[in-house]
Amino acid sequence: MTAHAPTAALRMNPRLWHLVPELQQGLDNLRSHTLRSLLTMLGMIFGVAAVVAMLSIGAGARQEVIAFIEQLGVRNIIVESRETSDRQALQRIRKLSAGLSFQDLRVIEANLPGLRATSARKRTTPTKMLPKPQGEMPMVYGVAPAYATLSGLRPSAGRFFDDAEHDAAAAVAVLGQAAAAGLFGTDNPIGRFVKINQQWVEVVGVAGPQLAVQTDLAGLPAQDRNNVIYVPIMAAVLRLEDPQSWQKDEIDGIYLSLGPDADVNAAGALVRGLLDAAHRSAGDVSVIVPAELLAEQQRTRRIFEVVMVAIASISLLVGGIGIMNIMLASVLERTREIGVRRAVGATRRDIVRQFLIETSLITTTGGAAGVFLGVVLSQLVGYFAGWSTIVTATSIVLAFVVSVSVGIVFGVYPAVRAATLDPVLALHYE
């Protein structure tokens, strides 16, 4: 059934029969100048490969950032303290603001409608730890039990600490994936103890893997969110206070989760206003609204795609100019052939179609090879550079269609020029 489909299509449309010998002739002409044809295709091949590879790299990077923002929670608001180790700068700030505190959290809870859950955060960098970590020292996060829901933490083993342990400042901890591997390797850490500075804490759970970004994002510091030890915030304040606490705010972060009916953007503006009033516009806190970041990333993605396609299309433009140059040379070489065809009855339309078929064969073959090369390049970049790359059907179709369109557009002029040759002069051309 499938084998007879092309024949049936040709019988239904007799005009298609005329394309078969012209396609064969076009292939013969290209094969007779194999090297020239391959060199002509190079512009298309590299142009399409550049479009596919650049869009795949960009799509991979954006997906990581967008996934990280979505993990933060599109219904959440995050307040980050801008702490400084510069004593003079800190003194200037302290004249206006006492820093982020539990009082700020209470003010927000009293004035922000639609709150579903809240958690303060106290970060501590241990000076020593037992067992000794294999790698970087984990960061200690003092948080409330609600933090697990706010940040999408799901224990992969054990459990998260509860309200009773939080209120009692219990010496318990939940390890991130990297922290658990660095401290205990492949051993089960549940029920084991970790000494943070001078305080022993019992491991009651291991958190599931968390996404992270390699650079600061809108006030959020870049950090491996898997190399973290979570403890009740009261335990962090009472048991693990940083020796340099004079430089630190009472807390350094606040997490807020809003209900489904609340306007997250309006709530973010309200939180900024409350903190500006309480801190006298000292600029020592940042308010991050993941929903705003997500919308901004979507806008940036569209702009990025347009810019990348425009840049990569320069290669396609150069390839199109190369095709026009080669086809004009081909017209000169085949002037007598054109004259003979016109003399035996070929119309101008036949001549135009013949040259456009050859141009289409070049661009289609070059486009297909370019797509293959672009996919290979994106995979190589992902493998050697460690970047996330995503080859989308949109990028492949876009690059292929643009390459074929550019080739045909630049092939029209040589085809028309060939068709307008005077048959008599063409027959006498040497």
**Residue 12 covered by a domain:** no
Instruction: Answer yes or no: do 163 and 222 share one domain.
Output: yes
Report how many domains make up the chain. Answer: 2
CA 101 to chain centre: 35
Instruction: Answer yes or no: do 216 and 132 share one domain.
Output: yes
Q: What are phi and psi of 17, to 5 degrees?
A: -60, -30
Instruction: Answer yes or no: do 158 and 303 share one domain.
Output: no
Calpha distance 381→388 (Å, rounded):
9
215-254: per-residue pLDDT in tens? 555 556 666 788 999 999 999 888 887 655 545 668 888 9
Instruction: Answer yes or no: do 118 and 192 share one domain.
Output: yes
Average pLDDT score, the chain? 81
CA-nearest of 266, 315, 249, 319 to 103 is 249
Share of the chain above pLDDT 90, in %: 22
**Residue 8 covered by a domain:** no
Instruction: Answer yes or no: do 172 and 266 share one domain.
Output: yes
312-323: per-residue pLDDT in tens? 667 777 778 888
Instruction: Answer yes or no: do 28 and 119 share one domain.
Output: no
**Residue 60 covered by a domain:** yes
Instruction: Answer yes or no: do 52 and 100 share one domain.
Output: no
Choose between 297 and 140: higher pLDDT: 140
Instruction: Answer yes or no: do 369 and 341 share one domain.
Output: yes
**Residue 88 covered by a domain:** yes
Rounded alpha-carbon distances, angstroms, from residue 9 to 4, 20, 24, 25: 9, 13, 18, 21
Residue at which a domain ends, from 250, 273, 293: 293
**Residue 49 covered by a domain:** yes
* pLDDT tier for residue 1 given thresholds of 50, 70 and 90: very low
pTM of the model: 0.65
231: its two tokens: 């403890």
**Residue 318 covered by a domain:** yes
Instruction: Answer yes or no: do 259 and 121 share one domain.
Output: yes
Residue at which a domain ends, from 246, 262, 293: 293
Instruction: Answer yes or no: do 113 and 138 share one domain.
Output: yes
25-51: per-residue pLDDT in tens? 767 777 777 787 888 888 788 888 888
**Residue 380 covered by a domain:** yes
Query: Which residue range forms the structural domain that includes residue 222?
Result: 73-293
Lowest mean pLDDT among 7-11, 134-138, 347-351, 399-403: 7-11
Lowest mean pLDDT among 61-70, 112-121, 275-284: 61-70
State yes or no: pLDDT of 84 exceeds 60: yes
Choose between 51 and 101: higher pLDDT: 101
330-364: per-residue pLDDT in tens? 888 877 888 888 788 878 888 888 888 888 888 88
Instruction: Answer yes or no: do 306 and 288 share one domain.
Output: no
Instruction: Answer yes or no: do 60 and 95 share one domain.
Output: no
* pLDDT tier for residue 419 given thresholds of 50, 70 and 90: confident
Calpha distance 139→160 (Å, rounded):
17
State yes or no: pLDDT of 328 exceeds 80: yes
Residue at which a domain ends, from 243, 260, 293: 293
